[in-house]
Amino acid sequence: MLIWCAISSHGLGHAAQVVPVLNELGRIVPDLHAVLRTQVPAWFFEDRLTIRWTRSPEQQDIGCIQHGPLTIDVAATWGAHARFHAGWEQKVHDETLAMRAALPALVFSDISYLAIEAGATAGIPTVGLCNLSWDRILEPLAEPGRTDQREAIQHIQRAYAHAGLMLRPAPGVPLTAFPKVSDIGPIAEPASNAASELRRALAAAPGERIVLIGFGGIALDTLPFECLEQMGPYRFIVSGPVPDRYTRIHAASALPFSFRTLLASADLIVTKPGYSTVVEAVALGKPVVYVRRYNFADEQALVDYLHRHGRAVELSEQDFTVGRWQTALQAAASAPLPCETSPALTGAADAAQALSQYLK
């Protein structure tokens, strides 16, 4: 059974939502094979996806153009959307032909509006999945009186309107562009805790806390390395290179653990409010220090989820940049347990059950 799976490559969060759903669907549908229509690199799926898959690299959407994980280049984002929407009919035609050649039973999109319109054009059942949508992300960035920007948003909404069903995992935002929205539980697939092995790999002293700095698939431009090096009793794990002179800061790539295992094994998490990291951190009971961006549509819902079900402290972008982290780290580590237990991670099973109805 073949499923066409279109995945946004804006960071890695969309792929992280899709993988648990496909794994769960593979337990329901025998011989499931997914065509991954995405520019997300193949290595991301290799140790995560348990079903048979083939990657077909093709741009599916724009998302946002960013300078690091915290800053949107608004002008460049609108320019990229204008270029992506130019020649739209040809893009839909090409994607439709590719789908018809593959003959999938279902088009599954997180959250490519190109795939949704092409799937409907090809006459294939089409289902979306995400806690947000690109029209909702662009709305706060629109300038008053800019008809071109309003038209870009309406273009996306018209394409989304072709979806037969939109699955919205908690915590999500209102998704008004879709004719039918079905709410499902949170989606995450936490790894097992390997804290003892991680501490040995870092030669961490008994009193040292291990802090994972994880800002998703868009790499941090800079970090206040000098401040972090002086910040005891902590050891830090970061993505990207670390100069040799630092002893408290470790590159994740030099450790024999996946990011998911690092997340499950660290004592604290420093991050932005991104869906997969937030939901997994809450499920694992990890204290979180987060840096807000204040112009991402799903951010408030994720922050509310963190404070309702987890232990979390906000760190301003200014304090993050200059290395004033210690107070926030201490506050997060000592924060009381939440009053409300974290919701069960039923989203992958919920989504798989809904998708399986199209594959009978």
If you average pLDDT over residues 152-176, what whole number do you get? Answer: 98
With a cut of 90, say whether residue 46 has pLDDT above it: yes
pLDDT category, 221, cuts 50, 70, 90? Answer: confident
219 touches 68 (CB < 8 A): yes
Work out the mean pLDDT of the chain and round it to a whole number. Answer: 96
State the Cα–Cα distance between residues 49 and 65, nearest whole angstrom. Answer: 28
Rounded percentage of the chain residues whose pLDDT exceeds 70: 100
Q: List phi, psi (to 5°) of 108.
A: -125, 120
- Which residues are bridge partners to 128 per DSSP? 109, 166
With a cut of 90, say whether residue 70 has pLDDT above it: yes
- Output the pLDDT for position 150: 98
Is the link from the previous residue into 256 a cis peptide, with omega within 30 of 0? no
pLDDT digits 0-9 by tens, 231-285: 989 999 998 889 989 999 999 999 999 999 999 999 999 999 999 999 999 999 9
Handedness of CA 134, 139, 141, 147 (dihedral sign): positive
- Output the pLDDT for position 260: 94
What is the location of CATH 3.40.50.2000 in the chain? 2-189+346-356, 195-334
Tokens of 255: 């450790």
With a cut of 90, say whether residue 22 has pLDDT above it: yes
Architecture of the domain defined by 2-189+346-356: 3-Layer(aba) Sandwich (3.40)
State the Cα–Cα distance between residues 86 and 173, nearest whole angstrom. Answer: 28
pLDDT digits 0-9 by tens, 77-90: 999 999 999 999 99
pLDDT digits 0-9 by tens, 334-351: 999 887 888 999 999 999
- Output the pLDDT for position 115: 98
- Output the pLDDT for position 360: 84
DSSP-derived 3-state class of residue 85: helix
pLDDT digits 0-9 by tens, 115-141: 999 999 999 999 999 999 999 999 999
Looking at the domain 195-334, which fold is it?
Rossmann fold (3.40.50)
pLDDT category, 168, cuts 50, 70, 90? Answer: very high
Between residues 56 and 244, the one the model is more confident about: 56
| Prediction pTM value | 0.95
H helices present in 122-248, as ranges: 134-138, 147-160, 195-202, 225-229
- Output the pLDDT for position 62: 97
